[in-house]
Amino acid sequence: MTRVDSGAWIAKAKRRKAYRDQARDKFFREVGMQKGAQAQDHTGAPISQRVRVTQLLNLTRKGDLVHGDHQAMATVMAVALGSTGLGTGGAMGNVAETQDMLDRHSIRNLRDTWFSAPVFFD
């Protein structure tokens, strides 16, 4: 709980809250999640991000930006991304081992498996 020593704190708190809300909104826009979404609903490597990376690699490779070894490496990286998939489903492969199961990191699971003393949790 916040301790309020003077009335000046209220104005500062409103400014901090506005700044915090702007930063949160920016984060959720960049990540592509909705506020209030469960962490388990978010995959570690969404298909849309993987597709953008491979498209950028292909544009770099096919464009006039790189030559020789750099062009060959861009091709190798695009093929590797396509073959490993970096997640489950989609056009880029089906490699379930590379996707982290976020429910393993829930507070309940951590409490039951990692910590034996309740001192770590309120």
Check whether 95 has a pLDDT greater than 80: no
The sign of the torsion formed by the CA atoms of 77, 83, 84, 87 equals: positive
pLDDT score at 44: 52
Q: How confident is the model at residue 60, as a pLDDT? A: 77
Positive or negative torsion for Cα 108, 110, 113, 119? negative
Domain boundaries, the chain: 1-34, 42-96
pLDDT at 87: 46
Q: Give 21 or 64, the one with higher predicted confidence.
A: 21
What pLDDT sits at residue 41? 54
In order of 110, 116, 120, the CA distances from 113 in angstroms are 5, 8, 13
Binning pLDDT at 50, 70 and 90, where does residue 58 land? confident
